[in-house]
A and B are shown apart, each in its own frame.
Chain A
Amino acid sequence: MELLRAEGLRKRFPGVLALDGVDLTVRSGEVHVLLGENGAGKSTLIKMLSGAYHPDEGRVLLDGHPVHIRTAGDAQRLGIATIYQEFNLVPELSVAENLSLGRPPRRFGFVDTKRMHERAVELLARVGVDVDPRTPVSRLGIARMQMVEIAKALGLQARVLIMDEPTAVLTTGEVEKLFSIVRRLREQGVAIIFITHHLEEIAAIGDRVTVLRDGRSVAEVPADTPQDELVRLMVGRPIDQQFPRERGQAGEPLLKVTGLGRKGVFEDVSFEVRAGEVVGVAGLVGAGRTEVARAIFGADRYDTGEVTVRGRRPTPGDVHAAMEAGLGLVPEDRKGQGLVLGADIAENLGLVTLREATRAGFVDRKGQHQAAAEVAEQLGIRMTGLGQEVRTLSGGNQQKVVIGKWLEADAGVLILDEPTRGIDVGAKVEIYQLINALTASGHAVLMISSDLPEVLGMSDRILVMARGRLVGELSAAEATQDGVMALAVTEVEGPRVQ
C-alpha cells in the first residue's frame, strides 16, 4: 500500500539547484533504497521529508493527502522519523532516558522512572536488541547507539523511517544484525527509506530503488537490478572498473612493525609494507586496526614492539617524529581528526608543511599558497578557490584535502584509515587512482577498510585482524570475501587481549 509520495520536488539554494524535480513513492512494509552520488540531492530530499527544508515547488502526500512538513515537530506528528549519521542521543543519559527524551512519562509532575524503564524495555524488544536500559548511551558502541536510535524512532510511532547511510559506520557482522532489524520493521508495516553507498547491500535488504542524479529522480527500479546497471543509472556513464588497481613490483620494505602491543588493546602485531605496495587491513570494527594505525603514527603510545620507517625508529608516541621519518595518517574520522573545518583549503593543505615553510619563525605564505595550488590541481579538488572553507566541500573533496596535505609533505608511507567511507562512487574511483599513482611513484600504502570489496579490489596483500591480533595474511590472488570474513570472526585462542 502506498504510504508516502513526493511529487516534483524542487529546491534552489543561492547558486545551486539542489533538487530539480524529484518523485518518490514509498509503500508501507517496504525498504526503499535511495541511491545517488554525493550531491545528487539525497540529503536535501530527506531534509525536506523531515522538516528541515521546505520545497520551492512540488508536494508531499501521506496516505494520499497532501501534507506540509514545516518543522521537525510536524514530521514527528506525521510519523516520519529520520536517523542521521550523527546520532541525536545524549551520551551522558541512560538508554531509557534517551528513549523518552523530551516526553518522559510523568506521575504527579515527577518523572515516572518505572514506566520509563518499562517503555524502554518494550521498545528495545521490538527492535530486538539486548541492552540494559540503565546503561549510559556513551558506553554503547556505535552499532548499539544506532539501534537505540531506531528504538527511539519507533517510540515516536514512526510509520516512515529514513535511515541515512546506517551501514557506513558498521562492521559486516553488525550490518547483518541491522538488516535483520530492518526486516523485522518491514514486517511490522514500517516504510523504510534506506540510503547507502554500498551497492551489494541493495539486493540484500532493498525492495525498490529510486536513483537520483543531479537533483533529479532518474529511475525507479527493483532492488535486484544488476550493480553495473545501478552504477550506470547513478553516474550516467558506466564505470568499467570499480577498483582500478594497477599492481606493480614491490620494492624495499618502507614500514616494518614488529611485536607491537598495547595492554588491553592489541598484541604482537608484526608486518611490513614495501615500496609500491598497498597492504589492506581487514577486520571487524573493534578488532584494533585503528588503534594499531594510531600507535604506528605516534598518535597513541604502545607498550611493546618496534616501528621502523625507512630504517629509522621514530620515538613512540610522538607524531612529529613519525612524520619526520616519513609517515602520514589519513584518519578514519575525517571531520573530527583530519580537517580544520572552519579554515580554508590552502590552510588545511599546508598544515603538515607549516614547520618546513617556516624561517626564523615566519611562514612563507606565498610558497605555501603555491604548493597548495599545485596539490589541489593534481588531486582535481573541485572548489571555488583555495580560499573556500573545507566545511563546504563534499565528502570526496574533503578527503582529497586530507590526503593532499600528506602529498604536500611527501610522506613516503601513508596510512589510510577508511579512506572512502561516506564518499560517492565517482570520488572513490578518484581516490583509488590516487593510491595507484602513489604506489607507482614508490610510496607504500597501508589501507584499513571495512569495505570488503574495496580491500579485495585495491590491496596487494591483506592482513586480517581479530580481537587485537593479526590472525592472517592473504595475497590478493587467494583472498575472497568469505575467506577474509572467516578470519575476521576468528575466536582468538585464550581470552581477548585485556
Chain B
Amino acid sequence: MSSSVFLRRSWLAENGALAALVVLVVALSLLSSDFLSVTNLLNVGVQAAVTAILAFGSTFVIVTGGIDLSVGSVAALSAIVLAWTASVAGLPWPLATVVSLAVGVACGLVNAALIAYGKLPPFIATLAMLGIARGLALVISQGSPIAMPDAVSHLGDTIGTYLPVPVVVMVVMGGIAAVILNRTYAGRAMYAIGGNEEAARLSGIKVSRQKLITYALSGGFAAVAGIVLASRLASAQPQAAAGYELDAIAAVVIGGASLSGGKGRALGTFVGALILAVLRNGLNLLSVSAFWQQVVIGVVIALAVLVDTLRRRGM
C-alpha cells in the first residue's frame, strides 16, 4: 500500500462525517437550486443551532461513557423558568437568565449525584430526569406557553441583516465545548474516565467529582439551548424540545464519538448536527414528506455508525 493511499484513507477515516457533509451539500446543491443560497444556508444554521448546543453538552457526557436523556426536557424547563421569573414573577431579565441557567445546571447535578453516588446507570437516572424536568415545566407553566422577555427574545434575531444570533451562539458554545474538551482538566479527565474509569480512579482522578462537572455542563448547555429555542419562538413552551435528546445523541454519534466512552470531539458533534439539519432542510426543499424524512434520518444514523464500526474493525 503506497503511503499516499494510506494517508488519504486515514484522512477519510478521521473525517468521515465531514466528508459525508461535503457530499451531502454538493448533492443537494445539484438537486435543488434553492439550497445553496445564503438565506437558506443561514436557515440551516438556525435549524441546527438548538440541536448542536444540546449535542455539545451531550458530547461531554458521552465522552465519559455516560448518556443524558434529559437534555430536551431540561431545555424546556430552563426556558419556562426564565419566562416565568421574568414575565410572571417580574424579575429583571438578566437575573431571570441566571436563574434559568442555574436550573439547568442543577438538573445536571441531580443526574450526576444519582449516577456517581446513587450508582444508578446514567440511562435510568437521566430517564427519570427527562420525566421530572418535563413535568416541572408543565406544572410551572400550567401547560401554556409563557411570553419571553423582549430583551432575551432578541437572541432569535439577526445581527445586521443576515447573521442570525442562534448561529453565533451555536458557534460560541461549540468553541467553549472544544476548549473544555481539549484544554481543561475537566475535559481530559472526561476522556480518561470514559476510556477506563478504574484506571482513571487509580491515577488519582476524582471520578465522582468529575462526573458532577460533566453532567452539570450538559445541563447548562441544555439551558442555553432552551433559551435560544424559546427566543426564536418568542415564547417558552412546556412541550418544546421534546425528543431533541435523541437528535443530540445522534449528532454526537454521527460526529464519531463512541457510546462506550473515551472518544468524541466538539467539531465532530458540530458536523453531526449540521448533517442532520442539512438533511432535513434538503429533504424539505425536495418536497420529501415529513414521514419519509424520519426514515431517511434513521438510515443515515445507522449508516454513520456502521461505517465507523467497520472502519474500527478493519484496523
Contacts and interface: CB of A to CB of B under 8 A. Distances in A.
B11 interface: no
A352 B183 contact: no
Chain B interface main SS type: helix
A297 B202 CA distance: 9
B198 A343 contact: no
A323 interface: yes
Given A339-B196, A340-B196, A342-B262, A354 B191 contact: no
A340 B199 contact: yes
Interface residues of B, number: 23
A109 interface: no
B185 A361 contact: yes
Chain A to chain B: the 4 pairs with minimum beta-carbon distance, closest first: A340-B195, A351-B203, A358-B185, A323-B204
A363 B184 contact: yes
B200 A319 contact: no
Interface string A323-348: 10000010100001111111100010
A428 interface: no
Contact of B188 (A319, A329, A337, A363): A363
B311 interface: no
Interface in B166-183: 182-183
Contacts of B205: 351, 354-355
Interface in B1-21: 1
Interface in A293-329: 297, 299, 319-320, 323, 329
A323 to B, nearest CB: 4
B192 interface: yes
B310 to A, nearest CB: 17
Contacts, number: 74
Given A339-B196, A340-B195, A340-B196, A354 B202 contact: no
B134 interface: no
B185 A340 contact: no
Contacts of B127: none
Nearest to A392: B315
B202 A355 contact: no
Contacts of A361: 184-186
B202 A299 contact: yes
A351 B185 contact: no
A362 B184 contact: yes
Nearest to B179: A362
Contacts of B186: 361
Nearest to A350: B188
28 contacts: A299-B201, A299-B202, A319-B201, A319-B204, A329-B202, A336-B196, A336-B198, A337-B196, A337-B198, A337-B199, A338-B199, A338-B202, A340-B196, A340-B262, A341-B195, A342-B262, A342-B263, A343-B262, A347-B188, A347-B192, A354-B185, A354-B189, A354-B205, A355-B185, A358-B184, A363-B185, A363-B188, A365-B183
Nearest to A365: B183
Given A337-B196, A351-B192, A352-B204, 17 more contacts: A14-B1, A336-B198, A339-B199, A340-B196, A341-B195, A343-B191, A347-B191, A351-B200, A351-B204, A351-B205, A352-B203, A354-B189, A361-B184, A361-B185, A362-B183, A362-B184, A365-B183
A197 interface: no
Interface in A221-243: none
A414 to B, nearest CB: 13
A221 to B, nearest CB: 38
Contact of A363 (B183, B195, B201): B183
A405 B199 CA distance: 11
Nearest to A405: B203
A319 B199 contact: no
B195 A342 contact: yes
Contacts of B199: 336-340, 351
A329 B204 CA distance: 10
Contacts of B262: 340, 342-343
B195 A319 contact: no
Contacts of B203: 351-352, 354, 405
Contact of B202 (A14, A331, A365): A331
B66 to A, nearest CB: 16
Nearest to B258: A342
B277 to A, nearest CB: 30
A337 B205 CA distance: 13
Nearest to A361: B184
Contacts of B191: 340, 343, 347
Contacts of B183: 362-363, 365
A361 B186 CA distance: 7
Interface in B30-84: none
A418 B257 CA distance: 34
A352 B188 CA distance: 12
Contacts of A352: 203-204
Most chain A C-beta atoms within 10 Å of own C-beta, residue among B189, B195, B199, B206: B199
B204 A355 contact: yes
A331 B182 CA distance: 28
A35 to B, nearest CB: 30
Nearest to B180: A361
A64 to B, nearest CB: 36
Contacts of A297: 202
Contact of B204 (A320, A336, A343): A320
Contacts of A365: 182-183
Nearest to A330: B202
A341 B189 contact: no
Nearest to A351: B203
A405 B205 CA distance: 13
Contacts of A299: 201-202
Contacts of B204: 319-320, 323, 351-352, 355
Interface in B199-232: 199-206
Nearest to B203: A351
Contacts of B196: 336-337, 339-341
Nearest to B1: A14
Contacts of A329: 202
Nearest to A319: B204
A407 to B, nearest CB: 13
A365 B182 CA distance: 9
B256 to A, nearest CB: 13
Contacts of A336: 196, 198-199
B261 to A, nearest CB: 9
A340 B204 CA distance: 14
Contacts of A363: 183-185, 188
A337 B202 contact: yes
A473 B51 CA distance: 64
Nearest to A15: B1
Interface in A145-181: none
A231 to B, nearest CB: 33
B185 to A, nearest CB: 4
